[in-house]
Homo-oligomer: A and B are copies of this chain.
Amino acid sequence: MSSFRQSWLAMPADSHFSLRNIPFGIISTASDPRHRPAIAIGNYALDLLEFSRGGGFQQAGFTNLEVFENSTLNAFAALGQQAHRLVRLYIQDIFTSGGPYPDLLEENLLLRERALIPLSAIQNHLPLDIGDYTDFYVGRNHAYNCGVILRGPENALNRNYYHTPIAYHGRASSVVVSGTPVKRPVGQILPDATATVPVLEPCRRLDYELELAAFIGSGNKLGERIKVDDAEQHIFGYVIMNDWSARDIQAWEYVPLGPFTAKNFATSISPWVVTPDALEPFKTQPLARPAQAAPVLPYLAASKQQTVYDIKLQVEYKTAEGDSAVISRVSSKFLLFSFAQMIAHHTVTGANLRPGDLIASGTISGQDSDSYGSLLEKSQGGKLSFVIGQSTRKFLQNGDTVTFMGAADDNSGGGLVGFGEVTGTILEPDM
């Protein structure tokens, strides 16, 4: 018999939203278009606005109920991890079979009718207003694989790579929620290998990037640093991300200041924010640093060893022709630096993080072709085709759909702690 609590709510065994998850999001319904906070549990969303107004939080000891009146989770995120913990544990109690508050929801059919909504009936929206979006590059296998493709194995990684968590600022305005179609970008590309003058054309090498990303909860003041051992307290929660990338535009524009229009057209995220508390049982050690690399500088040296998560990620590719396959499976643990280290590095100069800021890992890849997090790697820079049913591909075609899924499972009987999916279909460009 499992030592985990069971819910009175019917809970499919393969649900990403088990009683030990309780991720936060923003929803609306056809009959009620207000954007409002919710949690996901089993096949349902609990509308936190209606639950709160219906007295659901009267036993919670949580008094900041005004945050559930907002159309984003920023105000809730800003309250800090103690508040998120309190609300999550309380909601777990609410849904526990034989729990302490059966009258608040389980036996309150009126409030259940009003606040508990099938996931099939809701629409998800961006969970937070994103102030700044920072994309790291600490998926070491991806960085190495791309370096080999571009410069060969001897010079695959730049000399700074093992020392400094490489990152660039991304475009916040074009971060969209799962399900939003992605129009193929038009941009400057070199028309062939010998060209020196660009043309303006639809991207020919459109790619995805499989990433894990953290939303900041409480921030820091400008001029103050966040220490690596304090950094996790500043994380509201995690989503999975597709950082769509135009490889031909990127190749032409990225010297000397990094990618710009190659990545500014869309970045997709999964809708439910999974808390650090929910993921805590799935912590493990990050990638070992190579023997020849010096230790990290003290400001990046965490006192804990288990600093990354073993979340099972997968890439499902559905072609415009209708063929479909899972073409990649990889663990989110393949990071050289943890999110705590990314945050410590981000703020070492005194740069301020704000509630709702989004910090992404960079592409997560394994070491072989069925674990790659991008098509640049899978096609070896466009040299190799791969097969999905009757279709062959090197890069994304119009009408193709890419769906990432992510879930952690320890086979403990406690159920999955999952993210659901982040999906997007490529639309034809306008010229």
Give the contacts of A186-241 with B (CB-CB under 8 A): 186-188, 196-200, 222-223, 225
Tell me the residues in window 152-175 of chain A with beta carbons closer than 8 Å to chain B beta carbons: 158-160, 163-164, 166-174
Q: Could you tell me if B187 and A349 are in contact, using CB atoms closer than 8 angstroms?
A: yes
CB within 8 A of A297: which of B134, B158, B200, B430? Answer: B200
Q: Which of B159, B163, B170, B349 contacts A185 (CB 8 A)?
A: B349
Determine chain A's interface SS by DSSP, over half rule. loop
Instruction: Flag if B159 contacts A196 (CB, 8 Å).
Output: yes
In this complex, what residue of B is CB-closest to A294?
B197
What copy number does this chain have within its complex? Answer: 2
Tell me if A265 counts as interface (CB < 8 A to partner B). Answer: yes
List which A343-359 residues lie within 8 A (CB) of chain B: 345-346, 348-354, 357
- List B contacts of A354 (CB < 8 A): 173
Interface status of A324 (Cβ within 8 A of chain B): no
A52 in the interface, Cβ–Cβ < 8 Å? no
* Residue among A261, A294, A345, A346 with the highest chain B CB neighbour number at 10 A: A261
A172: min CB distance to chain B, Å? 5
Asked whether, in the complex, the Cβ of A351 is within 8 Å of the Cβ of B261, the reply is yes
Can you list 20 contacts pairing A with B, beta carbon distance less than 8 Å? A131-B131, A158-B255, A160-B188, A163-B197, A164-B198, A169-B170, A173-B222, A173-B353, A173-B354, A183-B223, A186-B225, A186-B349, A188-B348, A198-B297, A246-B349, A254-B257, A261-B348, A261-B349, A264-B346, A265-B349
Residues of chain A having any CB pair with chain B under 8 Å: 131-132, 134, 137, 158-160, 163-164, 166-174, 176, 183, 185-188, 196-200, 222-223, 225, 246, 249, 252-261, 264-266, 294, 297-299, 345-346, 348-354, 357, 430
Top-3 shortest CB links A-B = A258-B258, A185-B349, A169-B169
